[in-house]
A = this chain, B = another copy of it.
C-alpha cells in the first residue's frame, strides 16, 4: 500500500493518535487505511455417506482437492457466501446445515468458515475455477492431495464427529507450517 485510494497522495506509516499499531495514513486527506483479515466461506456437501470435493483449476494448489469455498463479497451473509461459492465452484445446489468449522489462519490473514450442507441432487459439475467435482467415501479421500490444511482439518472433524454420532462446531486455528 503506497498511495491513498481516496485522494492519490503518497501514504506514510505511523501510529495514529489513540491507536496502538502503525497504520497507512494519508497526511493530505487525513484518511487512515486499515487492513484486516478476510473471511473465506464454504460448505462440506454430503450425498448419502459421501462428500463432495472439487479439484482446483487455479493457483494456489492447482490440481489439488478442496471443498467449495471462497472470499465473502460485500453485502453478503456468511450463509449466502457459502451457497454462492458452492454453486460457482461445483455447480451444486445444497441445503445449508449448521456452521461446522471456524478456523483462523493468522499467517495469511484469513478466517475460514465451513457449513455442513446436503446436496439437493447429483447435478453438480466443474465451475470455472474447478477441474472436476467428485463424491468421495471416507476411505477414498485423497489425503495426500488436499489443497489446504483448513480443508483436511474440516474433513477430519467431520469423519470423527460422524463416527461419534454427534456433530458440533469446531473453532480453532491453523498455524504456519514448520
Interface residues of A (CB under 8 A from B): 1-8, 10-11, 18, 20-21, 33-39, 71-80, 88, 98-99, 102, 104, 106-107, 109, 111, 113, 128, 169, 171, 173
Contact = CB atoms under 8 A, between A and B. Distances in A.
Contacts of A21: 73
A104 B128 contact: no
A78 B2 contact: no
Contacts of A3: 3-8
A5 B38 CA distance: 18
A7 B11 CA distance: 11
A38 B18 CA distance: 21
A76 B106 contact: yes
Contact of A169 (B18, B39, B76, B169): B169
A73 B102 CA distance: 17
Contacts of A79: 104, 171, 173
A31 to B, nearest CB: 11
Given A8-B8, A169-B169, A173-B79, A71 B34 contact: yes
